[in-house]
Structure 1
């Protein structure tokens, strides 16, 4: 079964952090989860608040468990707040429906997992995370 190796997850995180520094972003926190929403790797930049782990995890886990990007979840929340609220409750309040939650797929479109990036604006988090995924030859859907 395809998946994201620990080595590849660490590279995604490193390249996401590199892109964040290149963009001049605030300190980022990045988590990589597998297709079941289980944490493979996490890293928090120096100066990033400790609570960012839960936000990054909520972005990544929400995407992979709902099969939607963070951007799609945000749009759905704007249109149907009751649905996203109920989904969040069903997932144990582990759903953060904003950009920066990015599905990770292989070249054939198979879902491998997701990443959650947090620390700057959601749009900047998304851009940095997509660069990290692209750097390892996988497809970012955010």
Structure 2
């Protein structure tokens, strides 16, 4: 597989949201981009707080922009805050959110297919849902851990 299909993106979103409901998490927003940064799928559950989709978008965009899962970007923000601030400025104020919940999507051979960003609950729970969705789509998640 060389491209992230719409079917895979929809499976990812549906499973991420199902996982959130099974865990009784807060309502989530889920954004999926392909490797070139084109939007494949977006869903925001009823009751999500204001701007959750934009935060999810920032997690996914940041992962794609730096080629790192947002967990690694969060670590880098602690170690090199000026670098992450500079990158945030370059890619836009809502296009890089340096906390877990932005996960790179890879195929079985490690090729980059895209990224998912989730926001709504704790960052760790957002990441758990992202990984569940990626796995259900038969792909591999890269959190940057």
TM-score by structure 1 length?
0.97
2:140 alignment counterpart: 139
Is 1:34 aligned with 2:39?
no
CA distance in 1, matches of 2:136, 2:11: 8
Deviations 1:89-141 (A, max 9, x none): 11122100110000000000000000001000000000011000000110011
Mapping of residues 9-88 of structure 1, within 5 Å: 9-88=9-88
The secondary structure found in structure 2 opposite 1:48 is coil
2:115 alignment counterpart: 114
Is 1:100 aligned with 2:101?
yes
Deviations 1:20-55 (A, max 9, x none): 111110001100001122211100001112411110
CA distance in 2, matches of 1:87, 1:36: 18
Poorly superposed stretches of 4+, deviation over 4 Å: none
Indicate conservation of the 8 Å contact 1:26/1:119, yes or no: yes
Task: Report how far residue 6 of structure 1 moved.
Answer: 1.1
Considering only aligned residues, what root-mean-square deviation do their CA atoms show, in Å? 1.0
Q: Higher mean Cα deviation, 46-55 or 94-103?
A: 46-55
Indicate conservation of the 8 Å contact 1:36/1:65, yes or no: no
How many residues were matched structurally? Answer: 142
Q: Unaligned stretches of 5+ in structure 2?
A: none
CA distance in 2, matches of 1:75, 1:22: 29
Indicate conservation of the 8 Å contact 1:103/1:111, yes or no: yes
